[in-house]
Amino acid sequence: MLKIHGVARSRAFRCIWAAEEAGQAYEVVPVGFGPGLKAAVAGVNPNGKIPALQDGALTLFESLAINLHIAAKAGAPFMPAGDDASRVMQWTLWAATEAEPAHQQWGYNTYLLPAERRDAAAARAGAEALAQRLAVLEGHLAAGGPWLLGKAFTVADVNLAGVLYGSWMNGFDYGPFPRTKAWLDACLNRPAALAARKQREG
């Protein structure tokens, strides 16, 4: 059984969703944020962060890497082979390097930090940077779709939609990106996503 260290109100949400999509049995080892976090996860993540995964003798950190491992256990169509496996990697890395930094800059200064610590200029800059990335995603979905790799839903969709979840839930303006909004709606209302969201939002 997979052991996911963390709480659903963290990046562990992505891993819970991936496990649900993959049909893999899992348990959440509840480790939350706070002063004791680093000590609590020292044995599974030397970075002192959540999530981390234990799968038998294997221990992994980094949420998107964990998801790729979970998907590999499930195989196709969730984790395809050949060129499509490379496309999964492309979109997973794009989620981490292009979408998430801008998303987090907007998110921290919009709803994550206490109001007195938010920087309106940083929020605007994050929103502008995220919009530039979403324009790329919008064009990609217009050319193919309905999923990132075309007709098959894969872990790439979980990884990118998991990164964008906070903006989808907290009022980012997706009006200029209707295909992206429709894709997010479809991703985040799948039965497996709803099961993970129940743990996060409940």
Domain with CATH 3.40.30.10 in the chain: 2-74
pLDDT for 32 equals 82
What is the reported pTM? 0.97
Cα 126 off chain centre by: 18
Domain 2-74 has CATH 3.40.30.10: yes
Domain with CATH 1.20.1050.10 in the chain: 82-195
pLDDT for 202 equals 87
pLDDT for 65 equals 98
CATH code given to domain 82-195: 1.20.1050.10
pLDDT for 16 equals 98
Report the run of H or E that residue 60 belongs to, with start and end. strand 58-61
DSSP 104-117: HHHHIIIIIS-GGG
Burial of 51 (0-12, 13-18, 19+ CB in 10 A): buried
pLDDT for 34 equals 87
pLDDT along the chain (202 residues), means of 10: 97 98 98 89 96 98 98 98 98 98 98 97 98 98 96 98 98 98 98 98 92
Integer Cα distance of 78 and 156 in angstroms: 9
**Do 29 and 36 meet the contact criterion of CB atoms below 8 Å apart?**
no
